[in-house]
Each structure stands twice: as C-alpha cells, then as structure tokens.
Amino acid sequence: MTSISEQLSDALGIMIMGMGLVFIFLSMLIIGIGIVAKLFPAPIAAATAAPATAIPRAPAQVALNPKLVAAITSAIHQYRAK
C-alpha cells in the first residue's frame, strides 16, 4: 500500500500530463485552422452581392381569427387557474 503523498504525486503527474496533451492538441488545431484559412480564403464576391441601400421589408400583417384568439385566451386562463 502506497502512502497518500505518493498517490497525490501520481495524481498530480497524470493531471499535468493530461492537461499538457489537451493544450498541445488544441494548439495544433488552432494552428491547422489558421493555415487552412490562409490557404483557402472566404470568397469576397458573395459578401458584396447584396446592395447596401436595400431596406428590409416588414412582414405583412396577418389577420387574426377572433375565434382562435378567444380559444387561446380561454386556454391560458384555464391553465393559470389551476
């Protein structure tokens, strides 16, 4: 049976090794993504295709069915009354 200090030392070593491997993997991933982004830049023409002066239209007003509104209101009141 090993002492608690030896177990804590082993646990600390495993933790540092695991965190180091994750750090190395993520660093390599970030570098790889940066290289791919430089080799294959995003197309610029698609971003400038939409005119800057276009004003987005508001959605058309939808006529609400009064019976549907009454049914929903009634259901809400019944649910809150419980």
* Three-state secondary structure of 11-43: HHHHHHHHHHHHHHHHHHHHHHHHHHHHHCCCC
Task: Report how many helices (DSSP H) and strands (DSSP E) the chain contains, helices first.
Answer: 2, 0
pLDDT of residue 6: 94
- Average pLDDT of 41-64? 69
| pLDDT value, residue 52 | 57
Res 53: pLDDT = 63
Average of per-residue pLDDT across 69-82: 94
- Which tokens go with 21? 């491997």
Q: Is the pLDDT of residue 63 over 90?
A: no
Whole-structure pTM value: 0.48
Sequence ranges of the domains in the chain: 1-43
pLDDT tops 90 at residue 43? no
